[in-house]
């Protein structure tokens, strides 16, 4: 009896182990994507009149986010549902397709094998509802104008040529999306004229959002003829939305007018002879400060200028909140500098003190530059200026320090319009040692006197390290590292880069990069690093 029980236990253990299903071990991973073996309709079919499309594969497949990834051109505005049937995928459309039109369905990586999720490659279906297939094709590349880097997953559209084209409201007739190399291709196009426009299309609604999406366009219509043509587009930000007062923020101490977009400058005119100190803050906020005495309400006229140079007029009422307690709570009075704190300085330098409030009093005889323990030179000994809002001091100074340059700002030497002062500050900068830095020199080999030029040295994160408005150029005291050389063609000679504007058919000012990255070592000079403008 005991022998029978032992045998039964062993049998159950063996049976349980055999019954467990586990993934097979060893062997090669399946890296082969599913292949399309048949479709209904067949690829490049003519006179298709149906509402259903079915794709058949050589293995079991799954559908992944097809509503986002399937691109149908021309834009059909024809809702569909899909059904996954093991080794096939069925699409059922609500309406019949437009007559006498060639349609292309590009599935991207929407269909994958069941086991390893390998996407089917180059999966595309073309058919015509007429008697022939359209044969036009356009292709090209898309890059960011400021970095020259390719742009992935941007929408490149062909629009019907119209005087009233509004890409914020109208979708493209044909379109494609760029791959990781910024390359796009639009095929099987009707052979006629189109307007080519590219947009970031971050929300994938195929409409342009000017506030935060880049765009690029060709000035002249293109013709998608039987011979394919290549086009290169540069993309840029161009917020052409109207400037509005988005909101106001009344406080006891200040009153902020917040604009709907970034503002470069604001002209303020006070009505009825009232005045208030004010400051344009980064990001598009104009702050007025409550300085007594003044009436309960102050009326101003504002002329705001955006990054496109467009001006907008406003009339604004400034009304501060009534104080609730005896003492008004003030925002802290702060100071930042350019160059940044602790950054090494050459003994001859330009320096900026940046305050977060307008200043009503500054004692330039009490603020001093310390060269050594015995030599203190007052700010008044140097040439310095205020900006228009009285919150930025720019000083040209010279020091004879050997190790450290110091600015001594005693408490009470800077007083804001709100009556508060900076705490005592000692700003330190080490003296720049030339042997720790390099130098880059060169010129524009084919410059024209009619144009202005801005030469920029940028690091690998495209941060501007040095700028020259002249050619030949010289960049001194550059830290060891890797850099790019960038040239802006300053067409209007306003010493800044100006973006484009599609409504005015105006392209941005051209930007060119030297193709080779620059490797600079300490205590080293690179000469004849010249820039040639492409023809």
Indicate whether this model's pTM tops 0.85. Answer: no
DSSP-derived pairing of the beta strands 425-430 and 404-409 = antiparallel
CATH topology for the 136-237 domain: Immunoglobulin-like (2.60.40)
Please give the span between the terminal C-alpha atoms of the chain, in angstroms, as a whole number: 100
The answer to whether the CB of 397 falls within 8 A of the CB of 352 is no
Whole-number pLDDT of residue 384: 96
Fold of the CATH domain 335-432: Immunoglobulin-like (2.60.40)
The structure tokens listed for 90 are 């069925």
The encoded tokens of residue 223 equal 């013709």
245-319 is a CATH 2.60.40.1220 domain: yes
Predicted pLDDT of residue 447? 78
Residue for token pair 């036009």: 136
- Options 2.40.128, 2.60.40, 3.40.30, 3.10.150; which CATH number does 436-526 get? 2.60.40
Angle subtended at Cα 295 by Cα 293 and Cα 299, rounded to the nearest 5 degrees: 120
Residue 3 pLDDT: 52
What b/e readout covers 329-364, taking b as 16+ CB neighbours within 10 angstroms?
ebeebebebeeeeeebbbeebebebebebbbeebeb
Q: Is the peptide bond before 74 cis (omega within 30 degrees of 0)?
A: yes
CA distances from 436 to 247, 371, 378, 428, 477 (A): 50, 21, 30, 19, 8
With H, G, I as helix, E, B as strand and everything else as coil, classify residue 12: helix
pLDDT, position 226: 56
The Cα 175–Cα 185 span in angstroms is 9
**CATH class label, 36-128:** mainly beta
Distance CA 86, CA 223 (A): 43
**Residue matched to tokens 């960049």:** 475
**Residue 134 bridge partners (DSSP):** none
Which three-class secondary structure state does DSSP give residue 328?
coil
Where do the structural domains in the chain lie, given as residue ranges?
A: 36-128, 136-237, 245-319, 335-432, 436-526
Residues contacting 518, CB < 8 A, separation 6+: 440, 457, 482, 483, 484, 485, 526, 529
437, burial (CB in 10 Å: exposed 0-12, middle 13-18, buried 19+):
buried
Answer whether 245-319 and 335-432 agree in fold: yes
The length of the chain is 535
Contact 90, 53 (CB under 8 A): yes
Angstrom distance (rounded) from CA 243 to CA 262: 9
Q: Name, in order, each residue with C-beta under 8 angstroms of 13's C-beta and a sequence gap of 6 or more.
A: none
d(CA 364, CA 139): 63
Handedness of CA 396, 401, 402, 403 (dihedral sign): negative
| pLDDT tens string 109-159 | 899 999 889 999 889 999 999 999 998 889 999 999 999 999 999 999 999
CA distance 356 to 280: 10
pLDDT in tens, 16-27: 444 443 444 555
- Rounded to a whole number of angstroms, the CA Rg of the chain reads 33
Which residue, among 345, 318, 349, 175, has the nearest Cα to 253 in the 3D structure?
Answer: 318
Q: How far apart are CA 322 and CA 522, in angstroms?
A: 59
Range 492-496, long-range pairs (CB < 8 A, 24+ positions):
492/452, 493/451, 493/452, 494/452, 495/452, 495/454, 495/469, 496/454
Q: pLDDT tens per residue, the chain (535 residues)?
A: 445 444 444 444 444 444 443 444 555 566 789 999 999 999 999 999 999 999 999 999 999 999 888 989 898 789 999 999 999 999 999 999 999 999 999 898 899 999 889 999 889 999 999 999 998 889 999 999 999 999 999 999 999 998 789 999 999 999 999 999 999 999 889 888 999 999 999 988 889 999 999 999 999 999 887 556 789 999 999 998 999 999 999 998 899 999 999 999 999 999 887 889 999 998 789 999 998 777 788 999 999 999 898 999 999 999 998 887 666 678 899 999 999 988 999 999 999 999 999 999 999 999 999 987 778 899 999 999 999 999 999 999 999 888 899 999 999 999 999 999 999 999 999 999 999 999 999 999 887 766 799 999 999 999 999 999 988 999 999 999 999 999 999 999 999 999 999 999 999 999 999 988 999 999 999 999 999 888 7
Q: Which among 66, 61, 178, 67 is positioned nearest to 118, based on CA atoms?
A: 61
Q: What are phi and psi of 336, to 5 degrees?
A: -125, 165
């Amino acid at each position: 009896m005991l022998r029978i029980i032992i045998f039964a236990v062993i049998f159950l253990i063996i049976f349980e182990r055999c019954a467990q299903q586990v993934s097979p071990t060893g062997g090669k991973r399946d890296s082969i994507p599913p292949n399309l073996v048949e479709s209904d309709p067949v690829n490049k079919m003519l006179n298709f009149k149906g509402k259903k499309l079915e794709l058949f594969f050589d293995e079991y497949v799954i559908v992944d986010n097809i509503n986002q990834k399937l691109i149908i051109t021309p834009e059909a505005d024809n809702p569909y549902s899909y059904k996954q049937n093991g080794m096939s995928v069925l699409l059922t459309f609500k309406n019949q397709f437009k007559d006498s039109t060639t349609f292309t369905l590009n599935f991207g990586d929407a269909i994958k094998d069941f086991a390893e999720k390998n996407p089917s490659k180059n999966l595309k279906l073309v058919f015509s509802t007429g008697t022939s297939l359209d044969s036009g094709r356009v292709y090209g590349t898309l890059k960011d104008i400021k970095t020259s880097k390719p742009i992935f997953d941007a929408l490149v559209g062909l629009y019907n040529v119209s005087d009233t084209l509004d890409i914020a409201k109208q979708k493209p007739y044909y379109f494609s999306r760029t791959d990781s190399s910024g390359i796009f291709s639009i095929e099987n196009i009707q052979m006629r004229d189109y307007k080519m426009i590219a947009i970031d299309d971050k929300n994938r609604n195929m409409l342009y959002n000017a506030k935060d999406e880049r765009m690029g366009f060709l000035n002249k219509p293109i013709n998608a003829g039987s011979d394919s043509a290549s086009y290169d587009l540069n993309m840029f930000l161009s917020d052409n939305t109207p400037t509005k007062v988005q909101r106001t923020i009344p406080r006891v101490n200040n009153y902020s007018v917040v604009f709907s977009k970034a503002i470069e400058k604001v002209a303020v005119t006070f009505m009825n002879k009232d005045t208030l100190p004010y400051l344009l803050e980064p990001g598009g906020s104009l702050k007025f400060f409550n300085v007594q005495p003044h009436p309960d309400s102050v009326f101003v006229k504002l002329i705001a200028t955006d990054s496109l140079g467009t001006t907008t007029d406003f009339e604004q009422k400034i009304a501060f909140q009534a104080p609730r307690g005896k003492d008004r709570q003030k925002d802290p009075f702060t100071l930042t500098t350019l160059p940044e704190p602790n950054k090494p300085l050459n003994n001859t330098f330009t320096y900026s003190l940046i305050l977060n409030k307008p200043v009503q009093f500054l004692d330039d005889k009490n603020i001093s530059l310390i060269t050594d323990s015995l030599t203190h030179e007052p700010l008044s000994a140097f040439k310095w200026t205020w900006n228009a809002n009285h919150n930025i001091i720019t000083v040209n100074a010279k020091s004879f320090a050997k190790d450290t340059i110091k600015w001594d700002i005693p408490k009470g030497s800077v007083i804001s319009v709100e009556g508060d002062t900076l705490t005592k500050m000692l700003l330190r900068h080490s003296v720049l040692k030339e042997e720790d830095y390099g130098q880059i020199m060169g010129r524009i080999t084919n410059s024209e006197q009619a144009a202005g030029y801005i030469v920029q040295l940028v690091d690998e994160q495209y941060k501007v390290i040095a700028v020259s408005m002249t050619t030949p150029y010289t960049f001194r005291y550059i830290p060891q590292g890797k850099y790019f050389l960038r040239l802006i063609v300053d067409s209007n000679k306003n010493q800044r880069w100006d973006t484009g504007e599609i409504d005015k058919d105006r392209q941005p000012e051209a930007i060119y990069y030297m193709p080779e990255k620059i490797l600079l070592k300490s205590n080293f000079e690179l000469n004849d690093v010249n820039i040639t403008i492409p023809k």
